[in-house]
Copies of this chain bind each other. A is one copy, B any other.
Amino acid sequence: MEKEVTIYDIAKILHISPATVSRALNDHPAINSKTKLSIAAKAAELGYRSNTFASNLRRKSTSTLGVIVPRLDSSFMSAVLAGMESVANRAGYNLLISQSLESESKERANARTMYNSRVDGLLVSLAYDTDGFDHFENFVKKNVPILFFDRIFDHDACAAIVIDNEQAGYDVTSHLIMQGCNRIMHVTGNLKRNVYSERYRGYRSALEAHGVLFDESLVTETDLSREAGKDAIAKLADMSILPDGIFIANDVCAISCVKELKQRGYRIPEDIAVAGFNNDPVAEVVEPNLTTIYYPGREMGEIAVKTMIDHLNGTVSMDTVNTVIMKSDLIVRDSSLKLTGKYQVN
């Protein structure tokens, strides 16, 4: 094991003080640029690397951001993380990533770990069933900034980044109505999560705007799993008047609805037009291809980290930011195109 090079080694060789080396390496303005150059050169030559822990210990900051997401294995989340990683890296921050697996208790445990690891800031997308905010109180108390994204918590002390879920829900529903649907089922997730309650609100206002009667029995709150999709279709099949469209708040569940509809002999979109949400890769594999909402995952991750870092640098206060709303887009595919008749049939 080779010995690690320290600023003392460099100082000794160059006959200067460690303080000067430290300052030069950190690009301190009050250091002669020639001195800087010679120090940088010697550092490179010796293969010096800064000791993060000593630095952290001294500065009482970690240059690390904690990230808690419901799950890593969704295309949306990996896009978010990719965006986060690139911005964080460029700014010299590390990411400590963990997944709550949609469970509040795991989310609590993760928050504790982040707290103990003394992350400089915390980025969170809430688990499916999280109720309380108390596992984040520690951070607020210690003044560690929290930024929620996608599945957010409305809290004065925290910033938030979301898409306009209500608008998206409105767009999907309007599109279905334009295709001739006037009895649209809505399969949603836990309504205490903003993303689902807002999509639902968009659904309702679209109905209203287009003069379509709202029927409560057409709305099902589920966990948006595959099974939930099957169950929803079973419920649909039992209805006395069949819906002619269905808007599912998430693609994975939507796919399972499509499968089940087909299995039961319904034609998509002729009998029932289908639309999902998220633009998951499966949306382009299922037949017919699924109409859905494109989610700017990568950009959301980038903005989240950028906002956090700006705040940490004192450039922007979190209060100023509070909530950023991003745009998303409707992607129309065959599963909802009743009017053009261009459906693939195999």
Q: Which residues of B contact A49 (CB under 8 A)?
A: 115-116, 118
A255 contacts across to B, CB distance below 8 A: 285
> Complex: how many Å from CA A142 to CA B4?
9
How far apart sit A75 and B97, CA to CA, in the bound complex (Å)?
Answer: 17
Contact between A72 and B62, CB atoms less than 8 A apart: no
B-facing residues in A24-81 (Cβ within 8 Å): 49-54, 56-57, 62, 71-73, 75, 78-79, 81
- Pair B50/A116 contact, Cβ less than 8 Å: yes
Among B78, B96, B109, point to the contact of A72 (Cβ < 8 A).
B78
A286 on interface, CB distance cutoff 8 Å = yes
Shortest beta-carbon distance from A58 to chain B in Å: 9
- Tell which of A2, A73, A94 has the most Cβ of chain B within 10 Å: A73
Chain copies in the assembly? 2
Which residues of the partner chain B approach A56 to less than 8 Å between Cβ atoms?
53
CA distance A73 to B74 in the complex (A): 7
Q: How far is the CB of A128 from chain B (nearest CB, A)?
A: 16
User: Are A96 and B94 neighbours in the complex by a CB distance under 8 Å?
Assistant: yes
* Listed A/B pairs (26) with beta-carbon separation below 8 Å: A1-B142, A1-B143, A2-B142, A49-B116, A50-B116, A52-B53, A52-B116, A53-B53, A53-B118, A54-B57, A72-B78, A72-B81, A73-B75, A73-B78, A73-B79, A73-B82, A82-B101, A85-B98, A89-B113, A94-B113, A255-B285, A262-B346, A282-B282, A282-B285, A287-B346, A346-B346
Distance from A173 Cβ to chain B, minimum over Cβ atoms (Å): 25
Closest CB-CB distance, A62 to chain B, in whole Å? 7
- Nearest-neighbour CB distance to chain B for A94, whole angstroms, equals 6
Nearest CB to that of A287 among chain B residues? B287
Shortest C-beta distance, A260 to chain B (Å), equals 12
Chain A 77-117: CB-based contact to B (< 8 A → 1; otherwise 0): 01101100100010000111111010000000100010111
CB of A15 within 8 Å of the partner chain: no
Residue contact B72 to A99, C-beta cutoff 8 Å: no
A132 to chain B, nearest CB (A): 18
Chain B min CB distance to A18 (Å): 16
**Which residues from chain A sit less than 8 Å from chain B, CB to CB?**
1-2, 49-54, 56-57, 62, 71-73, 75, 78-79, 81-82, 85, 89, 94-99, 101, 109, 113, 115-118, 141-143, 255, 259, 262, 281-282, 285-287, 346
Q: Is the beta-carbon distance between B99 and A85 smaller than 8 angstroms?
A: yes
A71 with B62: CB separation less than 8 A: no
A118 vs B51: C-alpha distance when bound (angstroms): 8
Is A82 touching B99 in the complex (CB atoms < 8 A)? Answer: yes
Contact A82 B72 (CB under 8 A): yes
Inter-chain contacts of A57 with B (CB < 8 A): 51, 53-54, 57
CB distance from A280 to the nearest CB of B (A): 9
Q: How distant is the Cα of A285 from the Cα of B255 in the complex, in angstroms?
A: 8
A287: chain B residues at CB < 8 Å are 287, 346
A95 and B97 contact, CB distance less than 8 A: yes
A72-B81, A82-B101 are known; give 6 further A-B pairs, CB within 8 A.
Answer: A1-B143, A49-B116, A51-B57, A94-B113, A95-B96, A262-B346
